[in-house]
Amino acid sequence: MTNNFSIAIHGGAGTILRSTMTPELQAQYETGLEAALDKGYKILEAGGSSLEAVEGAVVILEDFPLFNAGKGAVFNNVGGHEMDASIMFGEGLEAGAVCGVSHIKNPVKLARAIMEHSGHVILCGEGAEQFAKLQNITFEDDAYFYTEQRYKQWQEALKEDKVQLDHSDKKFGTVGAVALDKYGNLAAATSTGGMTNKKFGRVGDSPIPGAGTYANNNTCAVSCTGHGELFIRSVVGYDISCLIEYKGLSLKEACDLVVYDKLVKMGGEGGLIAIDKHGNIEMPFNSEGMYRACRSSNGRYEVKIYP
Ligand code: ASP
């Protein structure tokens, strides 16, 4: 048993302008981040597993209406919600993920149930919701997922679409957590509503093990946020792990190379949180801001939005 444990969480990266951020709103975001961080940290402190900690933290973020996951999920181009989530445990590379579900209160819980009880890694849409019923996962109706802020964002995106055929939507947001527990096990979880006005049926990087979410006890745990298509093509989580495992890079070197160089060259806006097997934490992003927080048993504590 190691004594060292740590957790990092994010609430999405993207265009978070200081000019439109009020002190009240900032305080609300920080409250949400602190609650999730606290939940995960306490689980680790009490000797819980990293898997429990990342799930616990992500559930709090999914229930918090300001973040784009669960309750606060964005609207797709037909005015619905389609959520993606995944979870991965670094001890045996176990993974579970769900894509395109519309009525699951906490998609991360379903991802874990898929990992532990389905015999599969990814379930999508109706099949995933059928499986969720068998697992006694909590459902919510459409009204639960309606938030005024997201509806307005969708209306704006729709308007832009009409005048701008080649529409590139940059409304990001996602939540995630990575943790190292006292037993040396790493875990990662990510949950999202995807991108505002995304095409019906679109799946991003968040539920793809190796892309938006990855955990391997030999290297690190990673949870991403940003322009999902680019993160899938860059296989971001696994790339960082490979740079550590096969090239001997440190966590910081690997994260910097992927986020500030490789992704930037491809136009991949966003960021990630990562923890390595020694408990080091990195939270790099190449966008204007990223809602993020971390805490470790060696005393590091941060809650931040801007660089
Ligand atoms: N990566 C997510 C997706 O493409 C969105 C985000 O992180 O903001 O679905």
237 in contact with ligand 1, CB cutoff 6 A: no
Closest CA to 107 of 25, 34, 28, 192: 192
Q: Is 174 a catalytic residue?
A: yes
Q: How far apart are CA 74 and CA 243, in angstroms?
A: 33
Exactly one of 2, 22, 174, 213 is catalytic; name it. 174
∠ CA 214-303-228 to the nearest 5 degrees?
A: 35
pLDDT at 158: 82
Q: Report the pLDDT value the prediction gives residue 157, as an integer from 0 to 100.
A: 82
Q: Is the CB of 271 under 6 A from ligand 1?
A: no
- Number of compact structural domains in the chain: 1
The pLDDT, as a whole number, for residue 172 is 63
Report CA(206)–ligand 1 centroid distance (Å): 6
Report the CATH number that the domain containing residue 238 is assigned in CATH: 3.60.20.30
Q: Do the domain assignments include residue 60?
A: yes
CA dihedral 241, 215, 263, 251 (to 10 degrees): -50
**Strand duo 301-304 + 289-296: pairing:** antiparallel
Q: What is the pTM of this model?
A: 0.95
pLDDT for 49-79, tens place per residue?
Answer: 999 999 999 999 999 999 999 999 988 888 8
Q: In DSSP terms, which residues pair with 221 in a beta bridge?
A: 215, 275
Which domain, by its residues, includes 224? 6-304
Residue 105 lies in a domain: yes
269 lines ligand 1 (CB under 6 A): no
Please identify, by atom number, the ligand 1 atom nearest to the C-alpha of residue 14: 8
- Ligand 1 site, residue 76, Cβ cutoff 6 A: no
* Tokens coding 203: 């799946």
Q: What's the confidence (pLDDT) of residue 1?
A: 55
State if residue 291 touches ligand 1 by the CB under 6 angstroms criterion.
Answer: no
pLDDT in tens, the chain (307 residues): 557 999 999 999 977 778 778 899 999 999 999 999 999 999 999 999 999 999 999 999 999 999 999 999 988 888 889 999 999 999 999 999 999 999 999 999 999 999 999 999 999 999 999 999 999 999 999 999 988 888 888 888 888 764 333 233 455 679 999 999 999 999 999 999 998 888 999 999 999 999 999 999 999 999 999 999 999 999 999 999 999 999 999 999 999 999 999 999 999 999 999 999 999 999 999 998 999 999 999 999 999 999 9
**In sequence order, what are the beta bridge partners of 235?**
none
Pairing verdict, β 270-276 and 281-282: antiparallel
Q: Give the closest residue (by CA) to ligand 1 atom 4.
A: 228
Q: Is the residue at 1 inside a domain? A: no
Q: Which of 124, 196, 222, 227 should be mutated for ligand 1, with most atoms under 8 A from CB? A: 227
Residues 6+ apart with CB under 8 A from 102: 80, 81, 82, 83, 129, 142, 145
